[in-house]
Chain A
């Protein structure tokens, strides 16, 4: 549905009309007439008919939650996910620490070290989801689309520490091997048909 009709506030055009409200009666006779009119107008039966009609139509709108779930938008900001590279199945995170830096509730802690190949490696990565406000800044600032928000909104555990585990956020390797990693489609993601829109730089450097 177009929002045009709602966004246009110009009352001179469109379907706007003034509601016809009668003046309130001031004298007793006028009040009496209003009571009689309202009594025999049968507006109560309109209400009865509306609910009966809905019962007969039986157009139930209940979402039976644990069995059925509402689809959520790709930009929904629930528990974070750490993605892997499609090419090598390696973790995308390069340990730049931007997410830790921008996090306004200070819930991301990242630690890096230099591994045996003299490459930077993430040794420790945790998000305290008990403190996270799901603002989405970490996903927005990530240059590699490594940390994103997923759609997993059902969090329950017997220990608060369980909400911090990096292993739970990282795409499992078998899921990655099956090619089932869902790419984030929200803010900052690569727009579709990006390859066709790339142009050669006209200058020869």
Chain B
């Protein structure tokens, strides 16, 4: 039985790695297409039907480009930084239940690599470690833009870890568990049981913080093209830059899984319809990441810090206190 468990886990890991690496590529396709449509452009349309093979063309380009280690960089740290970003993004996926359990050929599959009892804590922790990718990459490149980006990354990630943690604290108090499976069970009764109805403030706060954690547009200042070129990725080329990219998009997908699992009922009662519902919710949150990129301007770093420490964090603390009072009485 032990070896069967081992084989199952390895298969699940490989499937998650393959699926989400591919999804990162397809995610760029969707991002380009949706941004283009919102800006009344066509987007990629030449390579393959509807430009679908553009992803393959980009992949070939990334894999075959020369791997440049510029003079003046701290070689080892420069090389390891993109790996940290990609690896932590995928490590976070270990505690996410992607689908309800299903039976295939008489064998029950749990589509979660490890249902550890501190799931959310683990995900938040590993995502926080992801900070070291931009930080080390930016500081190791002998480039001022990268250095600015590294400083911003450290400030933004650490600040918004606080908001994420405090926002998630109130739902955790209600559910009484850190496992995402338990969160799902808590909300399995239907739409009326979703945590978003009892914790709307926490939901909004977590959603806002998700934008900062993934570095998406309203809070895109870590790699803001019009200010600091590509930030920490300026000196990177080829597949090393590609790893940063895969990490960013995989992070977007995983956050898009975590938000519905925490607040919007996840996969519900575990039926086929519930699984489809989860995928639809994930698709909406991923779409929203692209939507805001087309619609909203970026904020300044000082505005971002102001928003975090003077608005979101007090609101999160008040939310936790009120939740505690309501639960006590």
Quick one: closest A residue to B42, CB to CB? A62
Q: Does A21 make an interface contact (CB < 8 A)?
A: no
Q: How large is the interface on A (under 10, 10 to 19, 20 to 34, 35 or more residues)?
A: 10 to 19
Q: Does B202 make an interface contact (CB < 8 A)?
A: no
- Docked CA distance A123–B295 (Å): 63
Residues of B within 8 Å of A54, CB to CB, are 37-40
Q: Does A47 make an interface contact (CB < 8 A)?
A: yes
A85-103, CB < 8 A from B: none
Residues of A within 8 Å of B317, CB to CB, are none
Residues of A within 8 Å of B292, CB to CB, are 48
Q: How far is the CB of B45 from chain A (nearest CB, A)?
A: 8
B1-54, CB < 8 A from A: 34, 37-42, 45
Please determine whether A61 and B291 come into contact, CB atoms closer than 8 angstroms: no
- Docked CA distance A54–B295 (Å): 11
Residues of B within 8 Å of A61, CB to CB, are 40-41
- Return the contact of B34 from the options A35, A47, A55 (Cβ within 8 A): A55
- Majority DSSP secondary structure for residues of B touching A: helix
Residues of B within 8 Å of A51, CB to CB, are 38-39, 291, 294-295
Q: Does A44 make an interface contact (CB < 8 A)?
A: yes
Q: Does A23 make an interface contact (CB < 8 A)?
A: no
In this complex, how many residues of chain B approach chain A with their Cβ under 8 Å: the count is 14
Q: Does A155 make an interface contact (CB < 8 A)?
A: no
Please determine whether B295 and A48 come into contact, CB atoms closer than 8 angstroms: yes
- Docked CA distance A44–B296 (Å): 7
Quick one: closest A residue to B294, CB to CB? A51
Quick one: closest B residue to A46, CB to CB? B295
Please determine whether A59 and B296 come into contact, CB atoms closer than 8 angstroms: no
Please determine whether A52 and B38 come into contact, CB atoms closer than 8 angstroms: yes
Quick one: closest A residue to B43, CB to CB? A62
Q: Does A204 make an interface contact (CB < 8 A)?
A: no
Please determine whether B34 and A60 come into contact, CB atoms closer than 8 angstroms: no
Residues of A within 8 Å of B311, CB to CB, are 35
- Docked CA distance A55–B296 (Å): 15
Most buried by A among B39, B41, B311: B39
Most buried by B among A52, A58, A59: A52
Residues of A within 8 Å of B40, CB to CB, are 54, 59-62
Q: Does A64 make an interface contact (CB < 8 A)?
A: yes
A14-52, CB < 8 A from B: 35, 44, 47-48, 50-52
Quick one: closest B residue to A50, CB to CB? B295
B133-161, CB < 8 A from A: none
Quick one: closest A residue to B38, CB to CB? A51
Q: How far is the CB of A33 from chain B (nearest CB, A)?
A: 14
- Return the contact of A52 from the options B39, B42, B291, B296 (Cβ within 8 A): B291
Please determine whether B291 and A48 come into contact, CB atoms closer than 8 angstroms: yes
CB-defined interface of B287-304 with A at 8 Å, one 1/0 digit per residue?
Answer: 000011011100000000
- Docked CA distance A188–B38 (Å): 45
CB-defined interface of A55-69 with B at 8 Å, one 1/0 digit per residue?
Answer: 100111110100000
B267-326, CB < 8 A from A: 291-292, 294-296, 311
Q: Which residues of A contact B (CB under 8 A)?
A: 35, 44, 47-48, 50-52, 54-55, 58-62, 64
Q: Which residues of B contact A (CB under 8 A)?
A: 34, 37-42, 45, 291-292, 294-296, 311
Q: Which 10 A-B pairs have the closest CB atoms?
A: A51-B38, A47-B295, A62-B42, A55-B37, A51-B294, A51-B295, A48-B295, A55-B38, A61-B40, A62-B41
Known pairs A48-B292, A51-B38. 19 more at Cβ < 8 A? Answer: A35-B311, A44-B295, A47-B295, A47-B296, A48-B291, A51-B39, A51-B291, A51-B294, A51-B295, A52-B291, A54-B40, A55-B34, A55-B38, A59-B40, A60-B41, A61-B40, A62-B40, A62-B42, A64-B42
13 contacts between A and B (CB under 8 A): A44-B296, A47-B296, A48-B291, A48-B292, A48-B295, A48-B296, A50-B295, A51-B39, A51-B291, A54-B39, A55-B38, A60-B41, A61-B41
